[in-house]
Structure 1
Amino acid sequence: MHAVIPYVTGALLFGLGVYGVLRRRNAILVLMAVELMLNAVNLILVTADAAVRATLVGVQIESWAYPNGRPAHSGGVFALFVIVLAAAEVGVGLAIVLQYYRMRRAVHVDEVALHHDDEQVSR
């Protein structure tokens, strides 16, 4: 397997996600761009695991490290953890965006006040 194609695809997806995070104003689209970046990382993890397995075909396996005789798919396991992290990020991010929309009726990222202003409280 040539690992160059998935690596380049992952890099392009990650670059598109970074562009989406930096250029989008809508908070939902920013969350979608973050998801695109996390999926690119998943693609890289699984590809790296497959590439390392392909290169280690004749290597002696340590008996204490792998009791069942063969190593686990660590790239897939890490990708599963990234998927769980992405699900939690979407849940918390959407809850924050929905609460902000209920308060302000807009979800533009550049209009979010990041500090507490005393003048707005007194109004």
Structure 2
Amino acid sequence: MITPALPMLLAAVLAGAGVYGVLARRHAVLMLVGVELILAAAGLVLVTTGQVTPDPLASGAVLTLFVITIAAAEIVVALAVVMALYRARGHVDLQHERSES
């Protein structure tokens, strides 16, 4: 039986880094990395909770598989949007305005 303190602390650090990456960055790809860190923290919390609490259906592990699947689909769609943004603007900086000259 594991103690949930260290995995929960790691999940908190991952979530904090992910939130910082989403809020402080202007680059679209780095924002996507932040979102992936948040999803990884959620998966870690689900697995840790599933290991600590007795559950015959292994709900924590099953929900983590759903989170991983959704994260993979999300990153594919988001990278397609980033590529379209790069083709249209020439950069992926989300706050940079194009100068018309």
Give me the TM-score of the superposition, normalised by structure 2: 0.91
Q: Deviations over 1:83-114 (max 9, x none)?
A: 011011101100000001001001012237xx
Runs ≥4 residues deviating over 2 A: none
5 Å-filtered alignment, 1:27-106, equals 27-53=28-54, 71-106=56-91
1:11: how far off?
0.7
Q: Secondary structure at the match of 1:109?
A: coil
Q: Secondary structure at the match of 1:50?
A: helix
Q: Point out where structure 1 has 5 or more consecutive residues left out of the alignment.
A: 57-70, 113-119
Q: Deviations over 1:19-78 (max 9, x none)?
A: 00000111001001100110010000000011112xx7xxxxxxxxxxxxxx22110100
Structure-2 separation of matches of 1:110 and 1:14: 24
1:16: how far off?
0.4
Q: How many residues align?
A: 98
Structure-1 separation of matches of 2:26 and 2:92: 8
Q: Secondary structure at the match of 1:91?
A: helix
Give the partner amino acid of 1:21.
V
Aligned-residue RMSD, C-alpha: 1.8
Partner of 1:2 in structure 2?
3
Give me the TM-score of the superposition, normalised by structure 1: 0.75
Partner of 1:61 in structure 2?
none
Q: Which has the larger radius of gyration?
A: 1
Give the partner amino acid of 1:90.
I
Percentage identity across aligned positions?
45
